[in-house]
Structures are given as C-alpha cells and as structure tokens.
Amino acid sequence: MGHVPDLERGAARAGEMISIEQYFGPWGECDDITEERRANAAELLHACAALEYFALRDGVEFPDNPHTGSGVSGQTYGGFRPQECTQGAPHSSHKEGLAVDRYDPDGKIDGWCMSNLVLLESCGIYIEHPADTPRWSHWTLRRPGSGNRVFRP
C-alpha cells in the first residue's frame, strides 16, 4: 500500500471509520472467517480509513446506514459475505475480506473518489464505477482484471 496518514494520532475522526465488527456484521462468528480473510479485512479497513482521512479533510461526510448502524451499505451483505451467500461470485472480493460497500446515498463519496484517483492509488483502493453503484461506493483492494482504478464488473 502507498503512503497513508498516521491514523494513530487521531488524524481521522474515529466515528467515521468502519470497525472490524461492523465489517463482519451478522457473520462475525461465521466459519468462513479464516485468519487470512480476517487479515485481509484488517488491511482493507486500514486502507479505507486512510482514504476516509483525505475525504474528511476535504469536507466529505460519511453517513451511517440506518439498516446497519454504520458506514456499511445494504441491509446484510455490504461488508463481508459468507461463501454460501448467493450475492456475488464464489471467492468474490467481499467473500475474501477484500471489499466493502460504503453507504453513499447521495453519491458524494463516489464523486469525491472520481476526482481524487491519485489518492485512491496512494491508499491501494479500487472502486466500481459510480454508475453501477447507486447509493453505495464499492471499495476493494483487489486489482480488477482491467487494472483500472475505476472499473466496471
């Protein structure tokens, strides 16, 4: 991962960041959460916190999703997804702890991301094209086949 700010010094407001518990959500005790997937999720959330730092600095707000009580989008599957989940392909980024859907009801997070691709690269994050993610912003550490920072599945 590229240069990320020192988050231990309180550079970002902790209330904006997604915790590991929020990421795993109702699947926190799922057998699919291997050590590798937990490590992936920790790396993902660190990268997300770094990108959020830059966005917050620019005045972007990260609202909580009323369904999850956090920044994770959707009702159940915006963070980690167990392998048995029918949403997404087997071993998808969500199922490997490498992606999160950030709640973005008005598209402002995606709008900021599209204007700050250098910062996404610095934090090691790829996003799905905003046209394909209404009301959420898909962030992943997994490089898409196209290699593009903004991709279409």
Q: List all residues 6 or more positions away from 128 whose beta carbon is below 8 Å from its beta carbon.
A: 138, 140, 150, 151, 152, 153
The CATH classification of domain 16-151, taken from the options 3.30.450, 3.30.930, 3.30.70, 3.30.1380? 3.30.1380
pLDDT at 88: 87
Higher-confidence residue of 44 and 4: namely 44
pLDDT at 86 over 70: yes
Structure tokens at 35: 């050590």
Q: What is the CA radius of gyration of the chain?
A: 14
Cβ atoms of residues 33 and 81 within 8 Å: no
- Relative to beta strand 150-151, strand 126-128 is parallel
DSSP bridge partners of 136? 103
Identify which of 107, 97, 103 has the alpha carbon closest to the alpha carbon of residue 129.
Answer: 107
> Diameter of the chain by CA atoms?
40
Closest Cα partner for 125 from 37, 51, 14, 42?
51
* pLDDT band of 74, cuts 50, 70, 90: very high
The SS3 of residue 120 is helix
Q: Which amino acid is it at 104? A: D
| pLDDT per position as a tens digit, 93-106 | 999 999 999 999 99
Domain spans in the chain, listed from the N-terminal domain onward: 16-151
Beta partners for 70? Answer: 65
Predicted model pTM: 0.89
Task: List the alpha helices (DSSP H) in 25-75.
Answer: 35-57
